[in-house]
Amino acid sequence: MTFEGLRCFCAVVELRSFRKAAEKVHRSQPAVSQQIKALELEAGRALLERRQCRPTAAGAIVYERAQQILQGIDGLSRELADAGGAEQRELRVGTSDTTALYVLPSVLRRFTEAMPQTNVILINRNSDEIARLTAGGELDLGIVTLPQLQHGLEVQPLFEQRLVLAVPANSPLAKRRKLALADLADTPMLLLDRGTRTGQKLYAYFAANHFTPRVILHSGSFEVVKRYVAEGIGVSFLPEESLGEAEPRIVAAPLKGLPAIETGVIWRRGAYRTRAEAAFISMLEPRERT
């Protein structure tokens, strides 16, 4: 069995597609098919159900062991490069728009000063997608909203971001000295999608307080929501750090008891952590918790 055959097989199983697997391993689709046929010939049995691209019982065993083998080979290459003093040429980091805008700029500045030969590639996705890509080896590190439920990952909590009620600066709500959630019953709201971690936390908070929001927009991005609040379309719940002098059209209204978002960094369990990865994580300094 060859490393190339195992790599192609794992890619097909994970992506449920020969075409997508070929793109991932940078081979033609016929070449991927040939690698898997050779693997099955050596194993003496079918490893893949072709119609759904799912592993057979024997294929599931091969997939589990192949993941360990490929991760070990990848880790060995990275460890040898580290031992030789070579800087990691690329560091692939996944994060949300909000973290990329408000948390990472100072981290990236310090990192590029310390490791100028390492090219950082930022991938912006939601937390669940970042976790999937990290577990699959397509990202070295992910910065996600916790808790994170994806298998095969190590998690290091970093900090909490407090949510605030964000309202247009010219809204009557901005002049109130005190607000309760019930005061927002008829207020148009712009909320994060229920499928996001923060969206789930907000809707759990509403349910616990027997509150039904009047939602006029759902979005997967804090930055989209923030722009619409600035235009006076409605109110929302945003990380406190995302408000500031850069957007004077939005202010935080006095609503207490809102939940906080916990953020952490993730990486593949058992993977060798390079000097570049360790340096980047160390620069994500935990802040004082709210």
pLDDT per residue as tens digits for the range 152-195? 899 999 999 899 999 999 999 999 999 999 999 999 999 999 88
pLDDT per residue as tens digits for the range 110-155? 999 999 989 999 999 989 899 999 988 889 999 999 988 888 899 9
Instruction: Give CA angle at 260 (254, 263), nearest 5°.
Output: 145
Q: Tokens in use for 114? A: 């310390």
What lies within 8 Å, CB to CB, of 266 at 6+ separation is: 130, 131, 134, 141, 142, 143, 144, 148, 150, 153, 154, 155, 156
Q: Which residue has the tokens 């969206």?
A: 199
The pLDDT, as a whole number, for residue 64 is 86
Does residue 87 carry a pLDDT above 70? no
pLDDT-above-70 percentage for the chain: 93
pLDDT-above-90 percentage for the chain: 57
Q: Dump the DSSP string for 225-245.
A: HHHHHHTTS-BEEEEGGG-ST
d(CA 152, CA 155): 10
* Per-domain residue ranges of the chain: 3-83, 90-158+263-283, 160-262
d(CA 106, CA 114): 12
Q: What is the CATH T-level fold of the domain 3-83, as seen in this structure?
A: Arc Repressor Mutant, subunit A (1.10.10)
Closest by CA position to 252, among listed 183, 192, 188, 168: 168
CATH fit for domain 90-158+263-283, picks 3.60.21.10, 3.40.190.10, 2.40.10.220, 3.40.309.10: 3.40.190.10
Does residue 86 carry a pLDDT above 60? no
Does residue 99 carry a pLDDT above 60? yes
Domains 90-158+263-283 and 160-262 in one fold? yes
pLDDT per residue as tens digits for the range 32-70? 999 999 999 999 989 999 888 899 999 899 888 887 787
The pLDDT, as a whole number, for residue 246 is 65
Does residue 88 carry a pLDDT above 60? no
Closest by CA position to 145, among listed 166, 131, 124: 131
126 C-beta neighbours (distance < 10 Å), count: 21
Does residue 205 carry a pLDDT above 50? yes
Does residue 80 carry a pLDDT above 90? no
The mean of the pLDDT values for the chain is: 89
The pLDDT, as a whole number, for residue 137 is 83
Higher-pLDDT residue of 251 and 2 is: 251
Max CA separation in the chain (angstroms): 75
Instruction: Decide yes or no: CATH 3.40.190.10 for domain 160-262.
Output: yes
Closest by CA position to 121, among listed 142, 150, 92: 92
Does residue 290 carry a pLDDT above 60? no
The pLDDT, as a whole number, for residue 84 is 61
Taking the CA atoms of residue 65, residue 69, residue 74 and residue 79 in that order, the dihedral angle to the nearest 10 degrees is 120
The pLDDT, as a whole number, for residue 212 is 95
pLDDT-based confidence at 92, cuts 50/70/90? very high
Q: Are 268 and 132 in contact (CB under 8 A)?
A: no
What lies within 8 Å, CB to CB, of 257 at 6+ separation is: none
The pLDDT, as a whole number, for residue 196 is 87
